[in-house]
């Protein structure tokens, strides 16, 4: 971007599955798995867990 907020250079980066490796010890699993329930508003879903996720 230049001082007028115009794009002056754009580089497209394309990654293949071999370019990305999973990080060891990534996000932990949720146990017990949350069970979806109808939400309070139309077209929403509520996920409840025990214990409650802070």
> pLDDT by residue (tens digit) across 1-54?
788 888 888 899 999 988 888 777 767 776 677 788 898 999 999 887 666 666
Spans of all domains in the chain: 29-54
Only one residue has tokens 């971007």, namely: 1
Predicted TM-score (pTM) of this structure: 0.30
**pLDDT recorded at residue 52:** 66
The residues, ordered by sequence, that sit 6+ positions from 28 with a Cβ below 8 Å of its Cβ are none
């Amino acid at each position: 971007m230049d001082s007028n907020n115009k794009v002056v250079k754009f580089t497209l980066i394309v990654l293949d599955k071999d370019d990305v490796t999973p990080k060891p010890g990534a996000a932990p699993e949720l146990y017990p798995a949350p069970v979806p329930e109808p939400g309070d508003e139309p077209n929403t879903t509520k996920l409840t867990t025990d214990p409650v996720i802070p």
